[in-house]
Amino acid sequence: MVQQASVIDDAPLDDAFVDELEALPENRSARVKMAETFTGPLRWVRRVIDFITTTPGQLLSMMLVLTLALIAAGVSMSQTMAARQEAMDVLVNSTEPMSNSAHTLITSLSQADTIATSTFVQPGISSEYDMNRFMESVDMAVIAANEVLEGTVDSGARDDEIRRLVLQIQRDIPVYAGLMERAKTNQRMGNPVSVAYMSSSSNVMRERMLGNATELFNLTREQVADEMERLARPQWVPLSGLVAALIFLLLAQVWLWKVFRRRLNRGFIAATVMMLIAIIWASVANYSVWQSGQRDFERASTPWEEMTSARIDAQETRTDEIFALLRRQSVSDTDLTFSETYDSVSRALDSASAPPSGSTDPDLIASAREALDQWDEAHTQFAQTLGGGEFDTAVQVLTDPNPDEGLASSSRAYTRLDNALSGLIGQSRQDMREFIVASLDATSAVAGAVLAFTALSVLSIWLGIRRRLREYL
* Count of Cβ atoms closer than 10 Å to residue 467 Cβ: 12
Q: What is the pTM of this model?
A: 0.76
Tens-digit pLDDT profile for residues 369-420: 999 999 999 888 888 888 888 888 888 888 877 777 778 888 889 989 999 9
Please state which of the ranges 165-179, 193-207, 350-364 shows the lowest mean pLDDT. Answer: 350-364
Closest CA to 410 of 122, 206, 183: 122
Longest dimension (CA), the chain: 163
> Distance between alpha carbon 130 and the CA centroid of its chain, in Å?
38
Terminal Cα-to-Cα distance of the chain (whole angstroms): 69
d(CA 206, CA 316): 9
Q: How confident is the model at residue 2 (pLDDT cuts 50, 70, 90)?
A: very low
Tens-digit pLDDT profile for residues 279-338: 999 999 888 888 877 777 777 788 888 888 899 889 888 888 888 887 777 666 654 578
